[in-house]
Chain A
Amino acid sequence: AQSVTQPDIHITVSEGASLELRCNYSYGATPYLFWYVQSPGQGLQLLLKYFSGDTLVQGIKGFEAEFKRSQSSFNLRKPSVHWSDAAEYFCAVAAYSGAGSYQLTFGKGTKLSVIP
């Protein structure tokens, strides 16, 4: 069965500092990987996704992520954090469940706090 691990429950960074959120996955086939962001009391917004090809993917709001197959990782990065980036971030893997359908398995999330 597939799984996603986000080792860091809570990270605090200063505004303007760089950010890296870690994600490790376990999946037997080629993974489809996603990062979502959730602001308090809100639904999930897609930041970026990896299906194949270039292992460095660009997303919205200045985020990028790098797929490393050898490390089973898909870490999210941003060179300079803004106060509005404070939110909870979820990494997910899409597992093929038959008949052309996919289901997402999420990590437990990393809460990001930003110090002004």
Chain B
Amino acid sequence: DAGVTQSPTHLIKTRGQQVTLRCSPKSGHDTVSWYQQALGQGPQFIFQYYEEEERQRGNFPDRFSGHQYPNYSSELNVNALLLGDSALYLCASSALRPDKETQYFGPGTRLLVL
């Protein structure tokens, strides 16, 4: 049973560029959440997708956007990158039934903005 997978594992971009990160949820899961983890901090909630719609959003600017596909995989897009966007980006998946509160995390994508 494959767990949550993310690609790429590492990425280097320059300020002002755009980036797309990808996530495939655990088998049987239909909900994908994205988190940003800055160095030395706990993960912070960016947004959550279910049924191809953004259901909830944390305190992140509109530069952060996402998408969910019919196969439940998801993308996180960040436009106009800033140095402060350098972080580990974590994807988590969960199932609406029955254990909807529990999220399982992927290995993350480490983004460095120069």
- Which residues of A are interface residues toward B (Cβ below 8 A)? 4, 32, 34, 36, 41-46, 49, 51, 90, 92, 94, 97-109
How far apart sit A43 and B4, CA to CA, in the bound complex (Å)?
10
- In the complex, per-residue mask of B75-110: 1 if CB is within 8 Å of any chain A CB, else 0: 000000000000000101010100011111111101
How far apart sit A99 and B101, CA to CA, in the bound complex (Å)?
12
Contact A51 B42 (CB under 8 A): no
18 contacts between A and B (CB under 8 A): A41-B110, A44-B92, A44-B105, A46-B102, A49-B101, A90-B43, A97-B48, A97-B56, A98-B56, A99-B50, A101-B56, A101-B96, A102-B103, A103-B56, A104-B45, A104-B103, A108-B42, A109-B41
Q: Chain B residue with minimal CB distance to A44?
A: B105
* Contacts A34-B102, A44-B105 given; does A99 touch B43 at CB 8 Å: no
B24 interface contact, C-beta 8 A: no
Provide the residues of chain B in CB contact with A103, threshold 8 Å.
Answer: 33, 45, 48, 56, 58
How many interface residues does B have (CB within 8 Å)? 30
Q: Chain B residue with minimal CB distance to A111?
A: B40
> In whole Å, how far is A45's beta carbon from the nearest beta carbon of chain B?
7
Contact B96 A100 (CB under 8 A): yes
Provide the residues of chain B in CB contact with A99, threshold 8 Å.
Answer: 50, 55
- In the complex, per-residue mask of B35-61: 1 if CB is within 8 Å of any chain A CB, else 0: 100001111110010100001101000
Contact B55 A90 (CB under 8 A): no
Contact A42 B108 (CB under 8 A): yes
> In whole Å, how far is A107's beta carbon from the nearest beta carbon of chain B?
5
Contact A101 B31 (CB under 8 A): yes
Provide the residues of chain A in CB contact with B33, threshold 8 Å.
Answer: 103-104
Provide the residues of chain A in CB contact with B43, threshold 8 Å.
Answer: 44, 90, 104, 106
> In whole Å, how far is A89's beta carbon from the nearest beta carbon of chain B?
10
